[in-house]
Amino acid sequence: MVEILHAADLHLDSAFASLTEEQARQRRQESRQLLRDMVDFANDHGVQLLLLPGDLFDGERVYAQTAPEMAEALGRFTGQVVIAPGNHDWYSPRSPYARTLWPDNVHIFTGAAMERLSFPQYGCTVYGAAFTGPEMPAPEPFRVPEEDGVTLLVLHGDVAAPGSRYRPLSPEWLAETGADYVALGHVHSCSGVQYAGKTAYAYSGCPEGRGFDELDDKGFLWGRVDRDKAELTFVPFARRRYRILTVDVTEGDPAEKIAQALSGREADICRVRLTGSVDERLPLSGLQQQLQGLAWQLEVRDETRLRQDLWLHTGEESLRGLFLQRMRREYDGADAERQRQILQAVEYGLAAMEGREL
């Protein structure tokens, strides 16, 4: 049995295009710190193998301190580190992997063919390969030898995506390997542990989101691997999460309602979508300023509809017109609570008829 931590797709030195320059700089610094924190976690929890299947760097060009800081952080790990470069940080003589002095406990796959690392102190063997260019074909069939003890594979690749240019890996190929666990990189959300035959495999996802297409909790997988069994837990580790919050401001003070939705999000990067109907256009930049500080970065999007607009097409000769006329009659004779429901029904109805998203 071997204790592992599996993390991937750090994409260090990403540009973070949606942030200000200063914030982007801070984020890059934070993601370098993340690796140190991860090593602390690993040391505190008796992890023996740190498996890093690629895209640790966002590209070939990194800031001068990035790779040396990574080497320094990994050098403080009490176990062994295995890195399998991916499509963003593919191995070449120009890559940070080749140009950095790594501590003895760091092992980096450098070839496209499977390489073998033996760790008798943990009773296990690790296989893996690198990306040696920005794209890789499907690997040759591969099977681990029976006598290897607990066997792990560390690979960057695309599972169940037959046409992929990023080393497509079929479940059949994974099952054929006979490995006990395949630590994968490339997909940025955690897959949880899956099985192909007796072979367990997983994407850990990225430990930190980089945009609104990488929402909510991010982290790594941690636990133990034994013959034919992987017991791994997802550990949320992101310092900042990307969140999209929808706030209906039909009623009440918009600032208050947004503040409520943002409570506890000081460290996060939030996009607030304002929905519902309002009497007049919201003072967006004022709101944004007033609520500064409730999130690390806040973006407010006005998707509300002016109340009068709701009834604009009442009575026109169409399904929409008839619908509005009917709703308007009900609205005029209803109490406040009922009116609120009717407004909402009108919003949904109009959205459906106009093929819009609410």
How far is Cα 151 from Cα 345, in angstroms, rounded to an integer? Answer: 58
Backbone angles phi, psi at 2, to 5 degrees: -130, 140
User: C-beta of 181: minimal distance to Mn ion in Å?
Assistant: 20
User: C-beta of 309: minimal distance to Mn ion in Å?
Assistant: 45
Applying CB under 5 A, the site for Mn ion has a residue count of 4
Of 55 and 148, which CB lies nearer to Mn ion in the complex structure?
Answer: 55
Which of the ranges 15-23, 49-57, 97-105, 139-147 carries the binding residues for Mn ion, by CB under 5 A? 49-57
Of 12 and 262, which CB lies nearer to Mn ion in the complex structure?
Answer: 12
277 binds Mn ion (CB under 5 A): no
Closest CA to 307 of 277, 351, 332: 277
Backbone angles phi, psi at 139, to 5 degrees: -75, 160
Contact (Cβ atoms closer than 8 angstroms) between residue 54 and residue 158: no
186 binds Mn ion (CB under 5 A): yes
Question: Nearest to Mn ion by Cβ — which residue?
Answer: 186
| The pair of three-digit structure tokens given for residue 160, joined into one six-digit string | 């169940």
Of 90 and 296, which CB lies nearer to Mn ion in the complex structure?
Answer: 90
User: C-beta of 203: minimal distance to Mn ion in Å?
Assistant: 10
Closest CA to 245 of 203, 299, 286, 202: 299
Which of the ranges 69-77, 180-188, 206-214, 307-315 carries the binding residues for Mn ion, by CB under 5 A? 180-188
- Angle at Cα 129 formed by Cα 237 and Cα 66, nearest 5°? 45
How far is Cα 116 from Cα 88, in angstroms, rounded to an integer? Answer: 23
Interacting residues with Mn ion between 113 and 172 (CB under 5 A)? none
Of 59 and 68, which CB lies nearer to Mn ion in the complex structure?
Answer: 59
Of 86 and 223, which CB lies nearer to Mn ion in the complex structure?
Answer: 86
How far is Cα 152 from Cα 180, in angstroms, rounded to an integer? Answer: 6
Interacting residues with Mn ion between 52 and 111 (CB under 5 A)? 55, 86-87
Of 56 and 225, which CB lies nearer to Mn ion in the complex structure?
Answer: 56
User: C-beta of 159: minimal distance to Mn ion in Å?
Assistant: 12
Residue span 209-238 as binding mask against Mn ion, x where in contact by CB under 5 A, dash where not? ------------------------------
User: C-beta of 165: minimal distance to Mn ion in Å?
Assistant: 11
Contact (Cβ atoms closer than 8 angstroms) between residue 74 and residue 148: no
Beta bridge partners of 136: 166
Dihedral angle sign, alpha carbons of residues 193, 195, 198, 202:
negative
C-alpha neighbours within 13 Å on the C-beta side of residue 152: 32
User: C-beta of 282: minimal distance to Mn ion in Å?
Assistant: 40
How far is Cα 236 from Cα 37, in angstroms, rounded to an integer? Answer: 13
Strands 49-52 and 124-128 come out as unpaired
Of 87 and 151, which CB lies nearer to Mn ion in the complex structure?
Answer: 87
204 binds Mn ion (CB under 5 A): no
User: C-beta of 166: minimal distance to Mn ion in Å?
Assistant: 6
Of 8 and 343, which CB lies nearer to Mn ion in the complex structure?
Answer: 8
Chain residues binding Mn ion by CB under 5 A are 55, 86-87, 186
